[in-house]
Amino acid sequence: MSDSAPPAWFVVLLSLLCCWTVCSARPHPKVPGTEPTQIHLSYSGSPTSMVVTWSTLNNTASVVEYGQADFSLRNSGISTLFVDGGKKHNAQYIHRVVLTGLKPGFRYIYHVGDEVSWSEIYSFTAVQDDTNWSPRFAVYGDLGYENAQSVARLTKEVQRGMYDAILHVGDFAYDMNDKEGEVGDAFMSLIQPIAAYLPYMTCVGNHEIAYNFSHYINRFSMPGSHDKDMFYSFNIGPVHIISINTEVWYLDEDGSKDKVIRQREWLHRDLEAANTPEQRQKQPWIILMGHRPMYCSNVAKDCIMDESFVRQGIPKQGMPGVEDLLYKYGVDLTIWAHEHSYERLWPVYDKMVMNGSVNEPYTNPQAPVHIITGSAGCKERLTPFVPNPKPWSAFRLDDYGYIRMTVVNSTHLYLEQVSDDQDGVVVDSMQLIKHSHDSYSTTNYSGNRRDL
Check if the beta carbon of residue 295 is closer than 8 Å to that of residue 305. no
* pLDDT tens, position by position, 71-114: 999 999 999 999 999 999 999 999 999 999 999 999 999 999 99
DSSP assignment string, 32-91: TT-S-EEEEEEE-SSTT-EEEEEEESS----EEEEESSSS-EEEE-EEEEEE-SSTT--E
Whether the predicted pLDDT of 226 surpasses 60: no
Q: What is the pLDDT of residue 443?
A: 53
Whether the predicted pLDDT of 357 surpasses 60: yes
Q: What is the pLDDT of residue 10?
A: 41
Percent of the chain past pLDDT 90, that is, above it, reads: 85
- The CA-to-CA distance between both ends of the chain, in Å, stands at 111
Whether the predicted pLDDT of 222 surpasses 90: yes
Check if the beta carbon of residue 137 is closer than 8 Å to that of residue 167. yes
Q: Stretch 173-185: mean pLDDT, rounded?
A: 97
Percent of the chain past pLDDT 70, that is, above it, reads: 90
In terms of pLDDT, which residue wins out, 258 or 226?
258
Residue 252's pLDDT band (cuts 50, 70, 90): confident
What is the chain's mean pLDDT, rounded? 91
Whether the predicted pLDDT of 144 surpasses 80: yes
Burial letters 340-369, b for 16+ CB under 10 A, else e: bbbbbbbbbbebbbbbbeeeebbbbbbbbb
